[in-house]
Amino acid sequence: MESFKALVVDKLNNETKLSIQDLTLNDLPDGDVVINVHYSSVNYKDGLATIPNGGVVRNYPFVPGIDLAGIVRDSQDPRYKPGDEVIITGYDLGVNHFGGYSEVARVPGDWIVPLPNGLTLKEAMAIGTAGFTAALSIHRLEENGLTSEKGPVLVTGATGGVGSSAVSMLSKLGYKVTASSRKANEQDYLRQIGASKIITPEELTNPKNRPLLKQRWAACVDPVAGSYLPAVLASIQYGGSVAVSGLTGGNNFTSTVFPFILRGVNLLGIDSVFCPMETRLAIWERLAGEMKPNQLLESIANEVTLEQLPEVCKKILNGELKGRTIVTLK
């Protein structure tokens, strides 16, 4: 039987071991579509899947990778046929179901998004879950009344995957973007991808714990949360919104109700994992068109191989990666 390579995580005595192994179709979980994977990507969640207490993987051995893009090689689902170019982000991929860090994957057809016109497979993974999350955040902000005339939009964690994508997308859509980053040496990069102003996270603090601060931003794309979120909420303009999609800054925050009841601020939860397919398809169409990040492959994306992944996964957990990282499998 044909074999193919995959990054496998195993756990023994509360320690994880990562290795490149040869697998066969018999090793893959059930599904009705088999895909030759051309590209995957590296997300914070993928880094968590490689460590003992990351809270992502339940059963070992396991193949991580919450994104994949490739070409259908076999399908029991009538919606797909060999040769179709497809994308998967989210659902249980790379969490409870072998993921994209494998040259071949077998998945449920209900998880699949056909590659939209205007994107290549490689570009789709330069976007990946992080870019999709950024786009979904912007989409939800706009559903709640955000327009470019309302004022500047804050993006936290702006050099990360979600943050970089959000800065570029918002800029392309005509928004003025304030990028928050602790990396002083990345200011040129942030301006290159569309930031009009750059601040440090220290400016997102509220040492006197005032319930409301000066109204500075019309909205915020926030993949960081944690201790900075209360000051962000207290600084949003009347009727504005904060779209929270991550917890790299921590999973707890303490706030008052005043931003909500005195300024009508909205706190929006962004779930890109189980986003309904109707919305998912609409977002990917926007990502192939008006939201497609400028200089996506030139400035935002880096490229690595399967063999480089163990080291790259360490770097994303340490906050040492910039932008998006694509994994090339073909």
pLDDT over 90, % of the chain: 80
Tell me the residue range of the domain where 36 lies.
4-115+295-328
d(CA 245, CA 251): 11
Could you tell me where the beta strands, DSSP code E, fall in the chain?
Answer: 4-12, 15-23, 33-42, 67-75, 85-89, 104-107, 113-114, 153-155, 177-180, 197-199, 217-222, 236-244, 266-269, 301-305, 324-328
| H helices present in 144-202, as ranges | 161-172, 187-192
Tell me: pLDDT of 62 over 90: yes
Better-predicted residue by pLDDT, 30 or 250? 30
133, 247 in Cβ contact below 8 A? Answer: no
> Both 146 and 258 in a single domain?
yes
Q: Is residue 178 part of a domain?
A: yes
> Both 299 and 255 in a single domain?
no
CA 25 to chain centre: 28
In the prediction, which pLDDT does 12 show? Answer: 87
Q: Is residue 280 part of a domain?
A: no
Strand partners, 74: 34
> Both 246 and 207 in a single domain?
yes
In the prediction, which pLDDT does 252 show? Answer: 87
Q: What is the DSSP string of 120-150?
A: -HHHHHHHHHHHHHHHHHHHHHHHTT--GGG
| 145-178 pLDDT per residue, tens | 999 999 999 999 999 999 999 999 999 999 999 9
Q: Which helix (H) or strand (E) holds 3?
A: none
In the prediction, which pLDDT does 270 show? Answer: 97
Q: Is residue 136 part of a domain?
A: yes
Tell me: pLDDT of 303 over 80: yes
Q: Is residue 225 part of a domain?
A: yes
Q: What pLDDT band is residue 185 in, cutting at 50, 70 and 90? A: confident
The CATH code of the domain that includes 227 is: 3.40.50.720
Which DSSP symbol is given to 27? G
Q: Is residue 274 part of a domain?
A: no
In the prediction, which pLDDT does 242 show? Answer: 98
Report the alpha-carbon angle 45-61-98, nearest 5: 55
The pair of structure tokens assigned to 237 is 């303009």
> Both 9 and 108 in a single domain?
yes
Q: Which helix (H) or strand (E) holds 60?
A: none
d(CA 162, CA 156): 9
Full-model pTM? 0.93
85, 121 in Cβ contact below 8 A? Answer: yes
Q: Is residue 121 part of a domain?
A: no
| 188-225 pLDDT per residue, tens | 999 999 999 999 999 888 888 899 999 999 999 999 98
Q: What pLDDT band is residue 126 in, cutting at 50, 70 and 90? A: very high
- Kindly report the average pLDDT of the chain as a whole number: 94
In the prediction, which pLDDT does 68 show? Answer: 98
Q: How large is the average pLDDT for residues 31-42?
A: 97
In the prediction, which pLDDT does 184 show? Answer: 77
Tell me: pLDDT of 301 over 80: no
Closest CA to 122 of 319, 309, 297, 316: 297
> Both 43 and 145 in a single domain?
no
Strand partners, 199: 180
38, 101 in Cβ contact below 8 A? Answer: no
